[in-house]
């Protein structure tokens, strides 16, 4: 019975546009999108390099990236915490317990996902794509952009997968964000820590939003994959 009332209250909170909830959702979105923006350019170029260059250690690098796909987020958080803490190597940046630190952590988490998925997409590219770009007067950088453009549906799929992972991770956000109200409290840390303090309705409301975000990302993902297949 209590769950039912809490759920009803959660829906009421959601539809009334509760300010605190919106703020928390806003933190989640801005942190995860920043993480994606931070990680995407280096990840795309890493993927491009892995796709078209054959260098010593390429296979080893791929194996490392592959194993990083399932690296525990709380471990990323722990490492980043140690680096960012006052006596850490990056302590001077004074980033610990800020949204920036959370974005940095999520960027680290999504980097291997973006790289591996984008690499899979780029490897499907025709080698004539690059040759055609070069022979029409493109420089190496422009040719790389063109190749990434040719694999755009796979790249979009990579970004959506990365977003889904970033927005739903809790370990790292908790470690380096600290769940500070009105500042670093995002959906996952709020659910993890506030529900236990009796905020059932808020927890359920945020859970609904999180699931909706994840579902939306995977719906878009299958849309992108479908569009990619129809190519």
Q: Which residues bind another protein (CB under 8 A)?
A: 126, 128-129, 131-140, 142, 146, 149-150, 231
Whose Cβ is closer to another protein: residue 67's or residue 135's? 135
Whose Cβ is closer to another protein: residue 58's or residue 142's? 142
Q: Please report how close the Cβ of residue 139 comes to another protein at its closest, in angstroms.
A: 5
Q: Please report how close the Cβ of residue 150 comes to another protein at its closest, in angstroms.
A: 6
3-state helix, strand, coil split of the chain in percent (to 5) is: 80, 0, 20
Q: Please report how close the Cβ of residue 91 comes to another protein at its closest, in angstroms.
A: 44
Whose Cβ is closer to another protein: residue 69's or residue 136's? 136
* Pairwise CA distance, residues 52 & 148, whole Å: 12
Whose Cβ is closer to another protein: residue 63's or residue 136's? 136
Q: Please report how close the Cβ of residue 133 comes to another protein at its closest, in angstroms.
A: 8
Whose Cβ is closer to another protein: residue 90's or residue 138's? 138
Query: CA nearest 186: which of 117, 126, 103?
Result: 103
Q: Please report how close the Cβ of residue 44 comes to another protein at its closest, in angstroms.
A: 18
Distant-in-sequence, close-in-space partners of 20: CB < 8 Å, separation ≥ 6: 202
DSSP result, 73-133? HHHHHHHHHHHHSTTSTTGGG--TTSHHHHHHHHHHHHHHHHHHHHHHHHHTS-HHHHHHH
Helix (H) or strand (E) holding 206: helix 200-230
């Amino acid at each position: 019975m209590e769950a039912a009332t809490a759920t009803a209250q959660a829906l009421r909170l959601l539809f009334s546009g509760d300010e605190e909830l919106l703020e928390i959702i806003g933190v989640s979105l801005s942190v995860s999108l920043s993480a994606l923006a931070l990680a995407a350019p280096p990840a795309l170029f890493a993927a491009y390099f892995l796709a078209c260059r054959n260098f010593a250690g390429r296979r080893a690098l791929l194996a490392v990236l592959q194993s990083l796909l399932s690296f525990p987020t709380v471990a990323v958080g722990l490492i980043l915490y140690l680096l960012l803490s006052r006596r850490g190597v990056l302590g001077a940046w004074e980033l610990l317990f800020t949204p920036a630190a959370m974005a940095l952590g999520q960027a680290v988490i999504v980097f291997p996902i973006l790289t591996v998925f984008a690499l899979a997409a780029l490897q499907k590219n025709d080698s004539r794509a690059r040759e055609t770009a070069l022979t029409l007067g493109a420089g190496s950088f422009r040719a790389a952009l063109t190749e990434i453009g040719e694999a755009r549906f796979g790249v979009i799929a990579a970004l959506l997968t990365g977003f889904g992972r970033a927005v739903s991770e809790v370990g790292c956000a908790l470690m380096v964000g600290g769940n500070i109200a009105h500042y670093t409290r995002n959906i996952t840390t709020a659910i993890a820590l506030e529900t236990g303090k009796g905020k059932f309705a808020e927890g359920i409301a945020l859970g609904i939003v999180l699931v909706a975000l994840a579902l939306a990302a995977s719906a878009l993902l299958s849309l992108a994959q479908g569009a990619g297949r129809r190519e």
